[in-house]
């Protein structure tokens, strides 16, 4: 359904254009200020961090989402999270949106904002506002420059897309390097579609899509102050089957989620944990996520150690209901536990873990519900990068 990776530099769905520039927010001089603008008003859906210290952009978008009016643009800066910056940060965030609205000649409340980067430093507003003034000059249909401009410590841009049977398209971008980010407020996911999607249906369905895609990625257990996922639908490609659309959106978001997990700092492989036989889907997902966040299991995966005792430990810690006598665990398709330890060739299973993706399958033995989560391995390089970051 999704054809991510086929087109390395896709264009946006019809009616969407993006611009990116280097406004001088990132010390590296890379592009750091970008926007996506829709010719038509968009229905949209939003999911923001559950952090109780959420940044100004999350708070403002959430408020706009409550009001429920259509939006026209999304303005993003990377390099500064504008989080924990007090009343000044709230004003700066509103001023960013107002400035772009003014240049585009749309209402400020039709402009969403997203900031990512260091926490606790005021935005350099002269550079932001100076950049915004010239951003519309750069508008074009390529998605690549936007995907690059929203990165912080990501090593590569993250793009995924899907085409529906009617020809309507979904293009998604995300940022987040999946592991610990020094000072970084971590994850954004933005999806754009020219399908015509009913606003209330989209709002209703979006939380479930986020739950089984982005919320199933876990890398260090830290929830950022700025995390958000947004989908904008401008309707230019006309009506689509709602079920087909949601499945395609979920596919795009799952691809992006796996890209985030695989691009962890110091990560050498993707960790996938599939849990079945659970009492509820929520418990299956919790058990899978707890495995993916476990430093013990992540270390074992890095060392190609088929250390299934750590899966037993992590599942037990998750609180999900388990019948340990009926519980099963397999590593790379090889059964290693079924109510009791099973004999297996450790060297052979270890060799099978020298792969781009390591998959654990777990059955909890108490029901029928399933869930899947993604993470990455934990390497010494990762800690070196982060522990050596200092003043």
Q: Which is nearer to a second copy, 102 or 304 (CB)?
A: 304
CA-wise closest residue to 257 among 165, 174, 328 = 174
Is residue 51 within the footprint of a second copy (CB under 8 A)? yes
Instruction: Report long-range pairs for 342-347 (Cβ below 8 Å, ≥24 apart).
Output: 344/306, 346/306
Contact mark string toward a second copy, 84..123, x via CB under 8 A: xxxxx-----------------------------xxxxx-
- Please work out the total of residues on this chain that contact a second copy, with binding judged by CB under 8 A: 78
**Nearer CB in complex with a second copy: 163/304:** 304
Structure tokens at 7: 């087109």
Q: How far is the CB of 41 from a second copy (least distance, A)?
A: 33
Catalytic residue among 31, 85, 186, 286: 186
Count of other CB atoms within 10 angstroms of residue 233: 29
- The reply to whether 152 sits in an annotated binding site is yes
| Separation of alpha carbons 16 and 146, rounded Å | 12
Closest C-alpha among 333, 215, 339, 331 to residue 277 = 339
d(CA 22, CA 45): 28
- CA–CA distance, 106 with 112 (Å, rounded to integer): 12
For a second copy, the binding residues in 138-197 under the rule CB under 8 A are: 180-183, 185
Question: Minimum distance between the CB of residue 190 and a second copy, rounded to whole angstroms?
Answer: 22
Whole-number minimum distance, CB 212 to a second copy, in Å? 21
Touching a second copy, residues 205-264 (CB under 8 A): 220-225
In the residue annotation, 186 being an active-site residue is answered as yes
**C-beta separation of 315 from 288 below 8 A:** no
Q: Does 361 bind a second copy (CB under 8 A)?
A: no
Bridge partners, residue 175, by sequence? 188
Residue 16: count other Cβ atoms within 10 Å of its Cβ: 27
- Residues numbered 304 to 343 that lie near a second copy (CB under 8 A) are 304-310, 312-322, 324-325, 327, 337, 339-341
Please check if 186 is assigned to a binding site.
yes
Residues at the binding site for substrate are 152, 175, 186, 265, 386, 391
Active site residues: 186
């Amino acid at each position: 359904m999704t054809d991510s990776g086929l087109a390395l530099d896709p264009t946006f769905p019809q009616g969407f254009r993006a611009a990116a520039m280097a406004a001088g927010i990132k010390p590296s001089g890379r592009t750091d200020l970008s926007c996506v603008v829709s010719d038509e008003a968009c229905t949209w859906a939003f999911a923001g961090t559950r952090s109780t210290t959420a940044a100004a952009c999350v708070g403002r978008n959430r408020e706009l989402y409550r009001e429920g009016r259509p939006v026209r643009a999304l303005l993003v800066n990377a390099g500064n999270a504008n989080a924990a910056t007090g009343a000044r940060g709230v004003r700066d965030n509103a001023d960013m949106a107002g400035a772009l609205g003014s240049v585009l000649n749309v209402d400020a409340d039709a402009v969403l904002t997203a900031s990512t980067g260091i926490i606790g430093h005021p935005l350099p507003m002269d550079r932001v506002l100076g950049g915004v003034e010239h951003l519309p000059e750069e508008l074009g249909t390529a998605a690549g420059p936007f995907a690059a401009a929203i990165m912080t410590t990501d090593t590569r841009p993250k793009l995924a897309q899907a085409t529906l049977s009617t020809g309507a398209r979904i293009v998604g971008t995300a940022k987040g390097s999946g592991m610990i980010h020094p000072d970084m407020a971590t994850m954004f996911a933005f999806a754009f579609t020219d399908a015509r999607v009913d606003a209330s249906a989209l709002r209703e369905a979006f939380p479930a899509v986020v739950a089984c895609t982005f919320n199933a990625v876990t890398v260090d257990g830290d929830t950022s102050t700025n995390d958000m996922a947004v989908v904008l639908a401008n309707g230019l490609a006309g009506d689509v089957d709602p079920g087909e659309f949601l499945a395609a959106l979920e596919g795009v978001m799952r691809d992006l989620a796996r890209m985030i997990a695989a691009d962890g700092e110091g990560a050498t492989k993707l960790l996938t944990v599939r849990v079945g036989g659970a009492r509820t889907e929520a418990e299956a997902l919790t058990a899978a996520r707890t495995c993916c966040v476990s430093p013990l299991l992540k270390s074992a995966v890095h060392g190609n150690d088929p250390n299934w005792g750590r899966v037993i430990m992590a599942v037990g810690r998750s609180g999900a209901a388990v019948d340990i006598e009926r519980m099963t665990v397999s590593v790379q398709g090889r059964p290693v536990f079924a109510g009791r330890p099973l004999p297996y060739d450790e060297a052979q299973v270890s060799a099978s873990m020298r792969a781009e993706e390591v998959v654990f399958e777990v059955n909890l033995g108490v029901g029928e519900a399933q869930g899947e989560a993604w993470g990455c391995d934990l390497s010494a390089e990762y800690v070196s990068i982060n522990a050596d970051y200092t003043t």
